[in-house]
Chain A
């Protein structure tokens, strides 16, 4: 019988997914510090929902449950989704988003390895379209809020939509810098004035830039561990920086600078954790460059011209559609073949 090779040296899928979860920790810690403990509630809710949904669907599909739950891919989806949703989103939003991501975007397409779209982004986009108000209402960072909520108060808000007496929703939430920028620009204000608002930090959103830094740190760990290839984050960030630089250079009164775009919204999460999903992304090195650059450009265009403050989710989903074409068009030259 010929069953060579007999040896193997590869981290299992579980190990890869575990390292991705590990790499998310710095970002989560920053998140906790900026927005409070509510994010832990979202993560736990999403994780439990994802595991239950995954197990149920596997059972219905008559697939072995244990090996697929142990691959941790459902938990990665859950965490990414929890981090992408607004921190004080009501519990049902987290649950519905996760169910949609796991059931519709992943299992109905055949489970791990078969989903053409990034499940977390499908869940996010579905919620964004269905509940645009909730999805664009972010809590103000604790340091900026008039009445910073304690953990128990956050719990109350998440599960029963109850705020402490005398505190209005508007006092807790605020627009994100991307959102604020967009609305202010529509009112014909200039960037220089807009960015003086307290929600702006050194580079991006006040507080948010620290979360971005946390993702960057975790992302570099993944690159170093060769869990993700350098092509994707590099091309995404470079494309985003380049296109924002072009616009910024042309008119710096109406277009934000490149660093703001890199450090705001979901840019860093997208660069290292979203577009690096291997299943829904391209496989060839050149294809990865094109794919990530495409996401970067689309993200910018949606941010500036689209109807939503951040464009990461739609940019990723649109580029996911292009993956088969990108892969086919970027086949590398095979040894001994002409190009």
Chain B
């Protein structure tokens, strides 16, 4: 009380507060730690289990592409699945053996749904592939990053974000500070603590590599003050690395949240709509930097991690566990779970989740497994109404108003929830932890978030569909008018010609010329399409020359059409008839080229004025639209392929597809035009 008054007074006077060299964030809670139990023994090793089940989905991003097949013999460290797409991570064989299955299996996920897994039956020999250590000091950074992509290393703090993305900097990152997250703020979890106690040197060597890759000037390790042994070990190891330091922060959940930790250590608040790298800070977990060290120094890909096995087991302990090891093996190693164990929790008690079964494999995200009993984690009493006591607001580390968010989420008032920054919620659970009414607040927020995301997606799709439909209706209307006009013109000119030529020898040549003419017209059409394609190319690049190109294209088209018509002047009547008979699409194809030219011109003009960002946005939209149109065209083509064309008229499936493509381009031009207007 006195202290708080003194602090308050000192703050008022603006004098620096006494010994604190960290920056507090609002709220936070201090649950019972329960870390002691699992730190009594050193990190244990597990025997090679009888089978290793490796889910493809162990990281954030795209699932990797499988590179083996059932029956293959694989060596330890051999790549089983390759990273596909930018945000993805490879998966390697944690031990040598035979691929025995590639099928759906149960995975450690809150949904409890099975997912694709590669199962290996180890032969027990643990035969390594040829490991290729990398001399990182004498290798270009781009090669190092490319190599990391093959390592399968992801953030081992629990976020499992592929690591190669985070160091993809090539020296121009602007990252000046590397923060090593060793806070480990969740109760029960001690894997980082034990890792630091036992392998501080490897961690610091990893820090050196990451610091080099990012081009960071300094490196700060943030550790909570409940880990004195780890702090001492890290301090000793850090003395070998210039620019690095260890900073102790108070034990306060959730100080291990990256944004909270950065604030604690540096006093920097990362703006809500930015990443930490935008302000020159990158955060790595201790276990991740150690994995990076081992990968470069020994060539070892990501095959195992330290897992805390604690809770209601005979001997709580940390183990180095191969990925894919069945949870049962780990439980057995810790002396089995007590009889009153009801379920297993992956992660800590604040943010973890119930595992669907004890048969799930250990994955890259598994930092801690807690054998839970009803005694340890009592089911909360039924929720009472919110009494607006605002304890949740006092505890919220993001300084949100959880009681308001709850109210909005409960009443499905999602817009309001968004206004009150629902999406800044980190789901740390502090609000639920302090709620006197036992309201499952975090669940309400998760629900509201998922509803909002779903609604946003639906709205985006609906907007796109509406826009497309409006454009389509307008185009149909315009084409109808144009067709009618053309028809009238042709009819008029045909009558005129008929009056001039004799009817005698026209008949025998009719069929021949008709075919010829239509072939010629077809050629012209194809040429127009080719040109349209070229224009599309130009459009995608959004170069202003597109406009200048478009203009000649228009005149060329007109010329081509003229040549086709002039081919056989005395058979004009027949040609006109053939063209008149031709399907709407055929005319439309030729016409569309002209339209396109005009639209492209408009787009080109506007493009010159628009900023680059706007253009890329439009491009994206247009590309999506084009893709949809293409799909539609394919469908149409498929449908048409099944029907015998009644008309000899050769509007083939491919031509039709091309027409649709052109429509897509026109749509894009239309969007560009619209954007310009607005």
Contacts and interface: CB of A to CB of B under 8 A. Distances in A.
Interface string A1-40: 1111111111111011000000000000000000000000
Contacts of B25: 335
Contact of A2 (B1, B110, B381): B110
Interface stretch (B36-44, B79-87, B394-402): B394-402
B331 to A, nearest CB: 19
B483 interface: no
A1 B384 CA distance: 22
Contact of A1 (B110, B187, B269, B404): B110
Given A332-B399, A336-B269, A6 B436 contact: no
Interface stretch (B167-175, B348-356, B659-667): B348-356
B243 interface: no
B441 to A, nearest CB: 10
Given A1-B110, A13-B387, A335 B397 contact: yes
A111 B386 CA distance: 11
Contacts of B345: 6
Given A278-B389, A335-B26, A336-B271, A8 B400 contact: no
Interface in B17-48: 25-26, 29, 31-32
A112 B384 contact: yes
A283 B271 contact: no
A159 interface: no
A5 B349 contact: yes
A332 B26 CA distance: 11
Contact of A7 (B349, B391, B420): B349
Nearest to B397: A335
Contacts of A7: 31-32, 187, 349-350, 377, 433
A4 B351 CA distance: 5
Contacts of B433: 5, 7-10
Contact of A113 (B350, B387, B446): B387
B558 interface: no
Interface string B60-86: 000000000000000000000000000
B54 interface: no
Given A283-B388, A334-B400, A336-B259, A4 B272 contact: no
Contacts of B397: 335
B440 A3 contact: yes
A191 interface: no
A190 interface: no
A283 B436 contact: no
A132 B130 CA distance: 96
A336 B403 contact: no
Contacts of B443: 2-3
A111 B381 CA distance: 19
Q: Is the interface of A mostly helix, strand, loop or mixed?
A: loop
Contact of B353 (A1, A8, A67, A335): A1
A214 B390 CA distance: 27
Interface in B426-480: 429, 432-438, 440, 442-443, 446
Interface in B267-320: 269-272
B377 A6 contact: yes
B424 A67 contact: no
Given A8-B432, A334-B424, A13 B393 contact: no
A73 B372 CA distance: 35
Contacts of B424: 334-337
Contact of B432 (A5, A333, A336): A5
Interface residues of A, number: 38
A283 B401 contact: yes
Nearest to A287: B390
Which of A1, A5, A327, A337 is packed against the most chain B CB atoms within 10 Å? A5
Given A10-B435, A13-B437, A3 B354 contact: yes
A272 B398 CA distance: 29
A281 interface: yes
Given A1-B110, A333-B399, A337-B421, A279 B388 contact: yes
Given A335-B424, A336-B259, A4 B390 contact: no
A71 interface: yes
Interface in B329-361: 345, 347, 349-354
Interface string A298-339: 000000000000000000000000000001000111111110
Given A6-B372, A9-B433, A13-B436, A336 B31 contact: no
B382 interface: yes
Interface in B363-392: 372, 377, 380-382, 384-391
Interface in A212-269: 224, 229
B112 A1 contact: yes
A131 interface: no
A275 to B, nearest CB: 13
A284 interface: yes
A6 B436 CA distance: 15
Given A113-B388, A335-B259, A337-B272, A5 B351 contact: yes
Which of B1, B387, B391 is packed against the most chain A CB atoms within 10 Å? B387
B399 A4 contact: no
B138 to A, nearest CB: 40
Contact of B393 (A10, A67, A279, A284): A284
A331 B401 CA distance: 8
B353 A4 contact: yes
B384 A10 contact: no
A12 B378 CA distance: 14
Interface string A53-96: 00000000000000100010100000000000000000000000
Which of A111, A113, A281 is packed against the most chain B CB atoms within 10 Å? A113
A331 B420 contact: yes
Contacts of A113: 384-388, 437
A8 B392 CA distance: 12
Interface in A102-161: 111-114
Contacts of B389: 16, 278
A278 B437 CA distance: 13
Given A3-B354, A284-B401, A9 B29 contact: yes
Nearest to B26: A335
A8 B269 contact: no
Nearest to B437: A13
Contact of A111 (B263, B351, B385, B420): B385
B429 A5 contact: yes
Contacts of B386: 113
Nearest to B440: A3
Contacts of B434: 8-10
Contacts of A15: 436
A2 B381 CA distance: 17
Which of A6, A71, A338 is packed against the most chain B CB atoms within 10 Å? A6
Nearest to A73: B387
Nearest to B382: A67
Nearest to B420: A331
Contacts of B429: 4-5
Interface in B577-624: none
Contact of A283 (B353, B380, B385, B403): B403
Interface in B115-142: none
A1 B436 contact: no
Interface of A: 1-13, 15-16, 67, 71, 73, 111-114, 224, 229, 278-279, 281, 283-284, 327, 331-338
Given A6-B350, A6-B372, A335-B397, 16 more contacts: A2-B443, A3-B353, A4-B347, A5-B442, A6-B349, A8-B434, A8-B435, A10-B433, A10-B438, A113-B437, A283-B388, A334-B398, A334-B399, A334-B421, A335-B25, A335-B26
14 contacts: A1-B354, A2-B110, A8-B380, A8-B432, A10-B433, A11-B436, A71-B384, A278-B387, A284-B390, A284-B393, A332-B393, A334-B399, A335-B26, A335-B272
Interface of B: 1, 25-26, 29, 31-32, 110, 112, 187, 259, 263, 269-272, 345, 347, 349-354, 372, 377, 380-382, 384-391, 393, 397-401, 403-404, 420-421, 424, 429, 432-438, 440, 442-443, 446
